Amino acid sequence: MEENESIWTKTYFIILIATICCMLWGSAFPCIKLGYEFFNISSDATAAQILFAGIRFVISGVMVIIAGTFLNRKFLFPNSLKSFLYCLLLCLFQTVGQYIFFYIGLAHTSGSNGAIVEATNTFFTILWACYIFKTEKISFWKIAGCFVGFAGVCLIELHGTNLSEFKFNLLGDGFVLISCLFASFVPSLLKQFSKIETPFVLSGYQFLFGGLIMILAALLFGGKISTPAETAQAYSLLFYLAFISACAYTLWSLLMKVNDVSKVAVFGFINPVFGFLLSAIVLGEASTAFSWTGIFSLLLVSLGIVLVYFKKKKFLFFP
């Protein structure tokens, strides 16, 4: 275990794994919107969107449990009532709370806008770590980073080149922002919970529980998904979305277990970069993503996250 932990705490390894995670998460933005097209889910079909998300996360949970069982050579299951409750609490924040709002929000905004707004997750994480969990200390640079990053989020909401035209889409960008509030509690919770339970169990069962809750809620509200015309493409995309969650979240959890929250979270700025650019390429949103407002807002968000972790005599991990 000591050898394993030494590898997971190496700077180069953190950069590599965090980049892979963010690349996977970034690709989810255009893939979810493509999934809506493949399964004929309209922007106002809220129950169907939640059902689609629930199916994805049940598959993700099963993937993680199978992988963990294979690696550990025994069936993975919460080892106590406390562990079970931890998985349930995580699923309410990470899977249910975050993704119900995220899926609805992404159906009412562009993939590139969603990627930018999603970056606020990092800022909320810092605030909760400083004021609620007391694991971080507030600083000038963290405050400055939050202001710069939120300026970038506001800028992406400008339509056209007239700076007086400010429009905030509550059902779209607003819901993505609410999803970030839920998600921002997860790193600190995960840091605490992984002291008594493995990341594989926490990841697998919170996805499984959360997905089942979402499916049940969607069915109660009449959610239905039609059989796609392009069956192979549609189901391949669904399984890829499930793989994104299973792989990225588990790897991120392993990093979070043996490193400080801020040491890992600083690389979250790569997430909106991938989501922003992949949305532009895959969804044909180049006019939005590569407009001056789109590019400048992305730069502000990235700069804001870097500033949050700036230290006067030490920048990131480097002396």
Q: How high is the pLDDT of residue 160?
A: 44
Q: How confident is the model at residue 161 (pLDDT cuts 50, 70, 90)?
A: very low
Query: Does residue 62 or residue 15 have the better pLDDT?
Result: 62
Q: How high is the pLDDT of residue 93?
A: 93
First to last CA, the chain: 28
Q: Say how far apart CA 112 and CA 276 lie, in whole Å.
A: 4
pLDDT above 90 for 216: yes
Query: Does residue 293 or residue 264 have the better pLDDT?
Result: 264
Q: Which contiguous run of DSSP H or E holds residue 281?
A: helix 270-282
Q: How high is the pLDDT of residue 299?
A: 85
pTM for the model stands at 0.82
pLDDT above 60 for 206: yes
pLDDT above 70 for 132: yes
Q: How high is the pLDDT of residue 114?
A: 74
Q: How high is the pLDDT of residue 72?
A: 87
pLDDT above 70 for 15: yes
pLDDT above 60 for 26: yes
pLDDT above 50 for 163: no
Query: Which pLDDT tens digit goes with each residue over 249-288?
Result: 999 999 988 887 777 877 776 777 777 777 777 777 666 6
pLDDT above 50 for 165: no
- Average pLDDT score, the chain: 83
> 296: which residues sit within 8 A by CB, 6+ positions away?
152, 155
DSSP annotation string for 114-178: HHHHHTHHHHHHHHHHHHTS--S---HHHHHHHHHHHHHHHHHTB-SS-TT-B---IIIIIHHHH
Q: Say how far apart CA 229 and CA 245 lie, in whole Å.
A: 25
Kindly state the average pLDDT of the residues 303-311: 73
Query: Which pLDDT tens digit goes with each residue over 54-108?
Result: 999 999 999 999 999 999 899 999 989 999 999 999 999 988 999 889 888 888 8
